[in-house]
Amino acid sequence: MGMTLAEKIIAKAAGRPKVAPGEIVTCKVDLAMIHDSGGPRRVKPILDRLDVGVWDPSKVVLITDHYVPATDDESRNIQAIARSFAAAQRIANFYDQQGICHVVLPERGHLRPGMFAVGGDSHSPTGGAFGAYMFGVGATEMAGVLATGEIWLRVPETILIDWTGKLGAGVSSKDMMLLLCAKLGMDGGRYQAVQYAGDAVRALPMQERMTLANMAAELGGQAGLIEADSITKDFLRAAGADVEDDESWRGDADATMSEHHVFDATALEPQVAAPHSPANAAPVSSHTGTRVDVAYIGACTGAKLEDLRMAASVLRGRKAARGVELLVAPASLRDQEIARREGTLDVILQAGGRLLANACGICAGYGDERFGENVTAISSTARNFKGRMGAATSNVYLGSPYTVAASAVEGRIADPRAHI
């Protein structure tokens, strides 16, 4: 039998011709990504006790994004630790306050198809959008990776999710993922690799594919994967990556999948997840009319350049409803500047949007902009767990950037298709 894409990448990293699900293997790491929250402040004490440094600084990327902007002595100290660690370990790939790690990493050309990578964050599966096997680890495991350049892994089975058809106007990859969370559940991946395929996936631009891979974490998957194609390679080459025209990083036709799910993108409606779980997703019609106080366009799943363009397509020539606070936190400084140059950002700001830092911010419950008591918000983020984004009494609904923007205009949860 052939191997899946996940098995091929893991076999290469393990130095073996073939691996099979359930086997325990030790893999060499091609890239390790850490950020200010779970990175230097957590791993440095461990490395100091072991009296070792980073195994290969050229294979480490450090990004500050959680404690940005620094608003108090604690956050200033955490950022200072990150900067001093980068200098002491000679980490040249250090991006200070440039945006959210999952967006900055690929936009700076650090990913390649076939790469085996780890990240110190639960949404590290984002890297799988580029045909890499990338997953999140905790600080203790990351310290081991930084010290040795290796990590053990149980070879996962692969779940194939096939999206046929074509997405309609006002429907996005965020809606695809919210439907999957509702249909498969939050533990649908069960430590497995989740691979996305089908005509609807192949038609997606790169940043929309990133949302699919990113939210494999919400399905309980270790990794989310999409086979690389010309769209992948064009994006990475534009980012400065040296990408070969190598077709080897594809699964074999006779590879065994543990599950195969087929969904019709043509029939997909905009989805909204009710508090307090992405699995509470249902068609937007189930929630239309629910009043909102805040509409938040932010996070690695909801404020990339493509996401900002979606929101702007709804907000152009319109204003946020009276009493609705429209917040926008572009996922990276680079995406923000492109959005500004092309006029996308101005559309959002002219609609009443207030610009926040290029950081995790409200999504991860950091900073001073968290949701207050009894606030009802609709957000383009990946998660809406109780108390995660602010007060435990706040109620956060999830939707696509289209849906968040339409809801801001109407002052209540709204179907974006009426505004496209």
Instruction: Decide if 245 is inside a domain.
Output: no
Domain containing 159: what range? 5-239+256-263
pLDDT for res 244: 84
Q: What one-character DSSP code corresponds to residue 217? A: T
For 198, 274, 290, 310, the CA distances from 378, given in Å and listed in that order, are 30, 9, 10, 15
Longest dimension (CA), the chain: 62
Instruction: Decide if 393 is inside a domain.
Output: yes
pLDDT for res 160: 97
d(CA 224, CA 53): 30
Q: 187 and 51 share a domain?
A: yes
Q: Are 59 and 32 in contact (CB under 8 A)?
A: yes
Q: 235 and 286 share a domain?
A: no
Nearest to 175 by CA among 407, 420, 418, 416: 416
pLDDT for res 52: 97
Q: pLDDT by residue (tens digit) across 333-380?
A: 999 999 999 999 999 999 999 999 999 999 999 999 999 999 999 999
Could you give the residue ranges of the DSSP H alpha helices within 15-72? 40-50
The number of distinct structural domains making up the chain is 2
To the question of pTM greater than 0.85 for the whole model, the response is yes
pLDDT for res 174: 98
CATH at 126: 3.30.499.10
> Any residues with CB less than 8 A from the CB of 88 and at least 6 apart, and which?
none
Q: 58 and 194 share a domain?
A: yes
Nearest to 259 by CA among 16, 21, 12: 21
pLDDT for res 131: 97
Domain boundary among 263, 279, 304: 263
Residue for token digits 């209540």?
A: 412
Q: 335 and 393 share a domain?
A: yes
Flag residues of the chain having pLDDT under 70.
Answer: none
pLDDT for res 1: 85
pLDDT for res 248: 82
How many C-alpha atoms does 309 have within 13 Å on its Cβ side?
13
Q: 235 and 296 share a domain?
A: no
Q: Are 176 and 268 in contact (CB under 8 A)?
A: yes
Q: 277 and 219 share a domain?
A: no
**Cross-strand pairs, 329:** 298
Burial 175-189, CB ≥16 within 10 A → b, else e: bbbbbbbbebeeebb
- Residue 267, Cβ density class (10 Å: 0-12 exposed, 13-18 middle, ≥19 buried): exposed
